[in-house]
Amino acid sequence: MCGRFAFYSPTEAAAALFGVEGSVDVEPRYNIAPTQYVAAVRDGADEQRELVMLRWGLVPFWAKDPSIGNRMINARAETVAEKPSYRNAYKHRRCLVLADGFYEWRRQGDVKTPHYISLASGDPFALAGLWENWTDKESGESLQTTTLITTEANDFMALLHHRMPVILDAATATDWLAGSNDLLDDVAAITPALQAWPVDRRVNNARNEGDDLVRPAGDVLR
């Protein structure tokens, strides 16, 4: 799964990598957790890409209670096209969630050590996502939410966990937004080279923030 990530690159430059012009600045975040708002790119009016803030945890348009989103932070690539909660968004509402890295906890015996994973290049990237618009029938207020697509870990990520998010570069991001159904067939083939290192356990608490959370606390894995 992917339950925590970071996005701290200058927003305009990162968004421009994925076809957005003139985006607004987003506060750097080093410990983004479910139910918080994340920066995402999607196709807007006139097929122009736009940067929006979406709450992490997808609420299907048909849901009676938005709290369902609290446990819908990830959608499995293997079943996303068929699951009632995701299939409509998979067909019509895809997005790119901007990130510089994400966290995973490596279990060794009874100990779980947090690791920070980023591109080997150090560049920002996109996480394949879906978005939804939910409307409260009583108040008329709308809530836009997102979920991240996860898949079986590639050889590198298998050192840390058996699942990983679907990571996109500029080219594969375009295919994802265009509705490609082939991208998820062989995610390992499209995943850029990664690196990882252990970090301080302060990241375990979602209330903690700051660039010290991504600072290496041990050897870098490549």
Tokens of 81: 């096209």
Q: Please report, as a single letter, which amino acid is at residue 9.
A: S
Which of 47, 82, 95, 104 does the annotation list as catalytic? 104
95 catalytic, yes or no?
A: no
Q: Cα(183)–Cα(200) distance, rounded to whole angstroms?
A: 34
Which of 2, 47, 141, 209 does the annotation list as catalytic? 2
Tokens of 5: 């990530």
Q: Which residues pair with 45 in a beta bridge?
A: none
CA atoms within 13 A on the CB side of 128: 31
Which helix (H) or strand (E) segment is 112 a member of? strand 111-119
Tokens of 46: 């006139």
- Residue among 104, 116, 96 nearest 173 (CA): 96
Tokens of 150: 């996860």
- Residue among 180, 221, 182 nearest 198 (CA): 221
Q: Cα(196)–Cα(91) distance, rounded to whole angstroms?
A: 33
Q: What angle do CA 14, 17, 18 make, to 5 degrees?
A: 105
Q: Cα(130)–Cα(93) distance, rounded to whole angstroms?
A: 6
Catalytic residues: 2, 104
